[in-house]
Amino acid sequence: MIDFHSHILPDVDDGAEDIITALKMLKRAKRDGIDTVVSTSHAYIGDESDIDSFIERRNRAYDELYNAMSIDGGDFPEIRLGAELHLKSYIGRYDTVTKLAVQKTDYILIEMPYSGWNQELYEAIYNIKLMGLKPVMAHIERYMRYRSEFHNLKALDVLFQVNADSFLSKPMRKTLLDLFYRDYVHILGSDMHNLDERKNRMAEATDILRNRYGRKFCEYLEDNVTAVLNNEQPKEAKLPKIGFLDRLKL
Ligand SMILES: [Fe+2]
């Protein structure tokens, strides 16, 4: 399994509070069957110099974590560095934003603001795309109040990421099915921040996907994230229809 969204680096954002916690988070992820974790620390960018200072802080935290992993000698997933870029209308003016893409890819995880979606934001996404980046929108299910605007993101060819723990909520499972059928679900990520209330729920989510939605849904998400880490375009969805009665049982 690949976890596309995580906050494992200590002292970069509100994720892992120290190295010990980060090591435990990664070991648990590996035990849960996760082979690759994409590290997506929050990047709040004011002016362009913040991009380089973020990269510097992030890489320093990663080096320390890498050393600790080597000394520990345990079983850890592979880590790919990236960022969760908080979208602001001016971001599209900063060429160095390309440095925030997931390593070895052109894909970039973007967090939309929780209010004030407007034309300027869509233009920022458009400009980011002109730089050769491929945006992935983080936890799209948190923005259901903007559901009627999702098609604007889709028109910009963005991919949509969903958090694993959303599959643990029954009402949300129905919503997510609708989002799947509208082609608004492409990538799964844990968005893990710690070992307790924001822990990694990928294993539970994939069990739910396999058992309640069906194997094809699980495979679809796995194929998509594999394609993305290979810097390829995911294939078009061919998801089986879930009947009315099975939908009730989700
Ligand atoms: Fe996140």
Instruction: Kindly give the distance from the C-alpha atom of residue 135 to the centroid of ligand 1, in angstroms, as a whole number.
Output: 15
pLDDT tens per residue, range 142-185: 999 999 999 999 999 999 999 999 999 999 999 999 999 999 99
Q: What is residue 237's predicted lDDT score, i.e. its pLDDT?
A: 86
Cα distances from 245 to residues 99, 208, 212, 250, in angstroms, run 47, 17, 12, 9
Instruction: Kindly give the distance from the C-alpha atom of residue 39 to the centroid of ligand 1, in angstroms, as a whole number.
Output: 10
Instruction: Kindly give the distance from the C-alpha atom of residue 95 to the centroid of ligand 1, in angstroms, as a whole number.
Output: 23
3-state secondary structure of 22: helix
Q: What is the pTM of this model?
A: 0.97
| DSSP helix, strand, coil percent of the chain (3-state; round to 5) | 50, 15, 35
- Please, what are the domains in the chain? 2-248 (3.20.20.140)
Sequence-distant (6+) residues with CB within 8 A of 16 are 7, 8, 9, 10, 22, 25, 193, 194
**Residue bearing tokens 């080096």:** 63
Q: Tell which residue, 90, 91, 143, has the closest CA to residue 115.
A: 143
Instruction: Kindly give the distance from the C-alpha atom of residue 229 to the centroid of ligand 1, in angstroms, as a whole number.
Output: 18
3-state secondary structure of 38: strand
Sequence-distant (6+) residues with CB within 8 A of 121 are 87, 89, 112, 113
Instruction: Kindly give the distance from the C-alpha atom of residue 6 to the centroid of ligand 1, in angstroms, as a whole number.
Output: 6
Instruction: Kindly give the distance from the C-alpha atom of residue 190 to the centroid of ligand 1, in angstroms, as a whole number.
Output: 8
Instruction: Kindly give the distance from the C-alpha atom of residue 73 to the centroid of ligand 1, in angstroms, as a whole number.
Output: 28
The lowest-confidence range among 129-133, 192-196, 208-212, 242-246 is 242-246
Instruction: Kindly give the distance from the C-alpha atom of residue 212 to the centroid of ligand 1, in angstroms, as a whole number.
Output: 26
pLDDT tens per residue, range 69-119: 999 999 999 999 999 999 999 999 999 999 999 999 999 999 999 999 999
